[in-house]
Amino acid sequence: MKSKTSFPPLEGAAPPSRCPDNSAFKQQRLPAWKPQLTIASVLSSFFLIGAFCLTVGVCLVLSANSVREIQIDYSDKCSHCSKLRENSSNWNKECHCSVNFTLKEAILGDVFMYYGLQNFYQNHRRYMMSRSDAQLLGRNVNIQRSYCAPFSTYRNGTPMAPCGAIANSMFNDTIDLFYNRNSSVIQVPLLKTGNSWWTDKNVKFRNPESYNLSSAFAGTARPPYWQKPVYLLDEGDERNNGYVNDDFIIWMRVSAFATFRNLYRRVRRIRHFAEGLPAGNYTFRISYNFPVTRFKGRKHVILSTVVWSGGSNPFLGIAYLVSGTAATLTGFVITGIHLKLRKKKTYFQKQ
């Protein structure tokens, strides 16, 4: 075996250089632009940003205030149904209630119906993870390995479809709207499809492939809190059943806040409602199924219009107003400091 022999460096030899290569990039000689911050450029930037934010904020606030909206809390008005639903053994008993209200002015244009929940925390980490995206894509997966537990299978091993806590707690009140016109009662036509996002309806949710839905979901069972299986969510429209049901898709998009609203229906603009909802007396007829008393929640039904900036939410406009005001005030403060320093500099130069 040959041994390696190391030789000491020669006396007087320069050590190897550790400097970067003499290139424009490594020596930082590339052409660059460096802004020259003068008092004129700084102040103009602050005032321009302030004017832009204030203008946008005013437009957003005025747009949000132009939204017509009516919100009705039916938690107490359906208290007898709420007490019935608190007992889980009454899950198969129907309970209905009615809520009357009056529109003093007509709501013109497209009218949207929302259901609102208060004090319902969908942002809990374990709740948000309790779902199987592979199952919602129509794939044959072993949901026992997913995060759906304890809402994955029954004791006899039958898998739930859909699985998870989100699906199990789906909002299932049925809300119908009636228009009291003179002595007749007219049901307001409502659209139950076309309310979900296109990407959700066509990309994120799909039904298992089969010649019919009942056979596609054979060997599975509905979640414990559901009253009917997933392939019968909309018995009037076969295309709105299963995992591609609009109400189910909208519910599966969880909210970041404890108080939220989800789109439920859209008013179909035909006959008496071609221009929107006319002024007059109306009645909500509600099939009460979703209990909220145990978590001290509240339930609302909202009728609202939308504008170019969205619904009746002035938060974004207020945020722009606050930012614009802060930028403008900062500009004035810098202006005052500059004038004071310049005056002091002039005084010392005269001395």
pLDDT band at 238 (very low <50, low <70, confident <90, very high): confident
Q: For the segment 174-188, what is each residue's pLDDT rounded down to a tens digit? A: 999 999 988 899 999
pLDDT tops 80 at residue 344: no
Residue 3 is predicted with a pLDDT of 54
Averaged pLDDT of the chain: 89
pLDDT tops 90 at residue 162: yes
Q: For the segment 267-286, what is each residue's pLDDT rounded down to a tens digit? A: 999 989 999 999 999 999 99
For residues 330 and 7, the model is more confident at 330
Residue 348 is predicted with a pLDDT of 61
Residue 303 is predicted with a pLDDT of 95
pLDDT tops 80 at residue 24: yes
pLDDT band at 308 (very low <50, low <70, confident <90, very high): confident
Query: pLDDT exceeding 70 applies to what percent of the chain?
Result: 94
User: Identity (one letter) of the amino acid at 351?
Assistant: Q
pLDDT tops 70 at residue 94: yes
Residue 325 is predicted with a pLDDT of 97
Residue 4 is predicted with a pLDDT of 55
For residues 88 and 340, the model is more confident at 340
Residue 11 is predicted with a pLDDT of 61
Cβ–Cβ < 8 Å for 310, 112? no
Nearest to 177 by CA among 272, 100, 261: 100
Residue 5 is predicted with a pLDDT of 55
pLDDT band at 349 (very low <50, low <70, confident <90, very high): low
pLDDT tops 90 at residue 333: yes
pLDDT tops 90 at residue 287: yes
What is the pLDDT averaged over residues 15-30? 82
What is the pLDDT averaged over residues 67-73? 93
Minimum mean pLDDT range among 3-12, 91-100, 139-148: 3-12
CA distances from 147 to 95, 132, 135, 150, 160 (A): 34, 7, 12, 9, 13
For residues 331 and 34, the model is more confident at 331
CA dist 21 and 25 (Å) reads 9
pLDDT tops 80 at residue 16: no
What is the pLDDT averaged over residues 142-154? 88
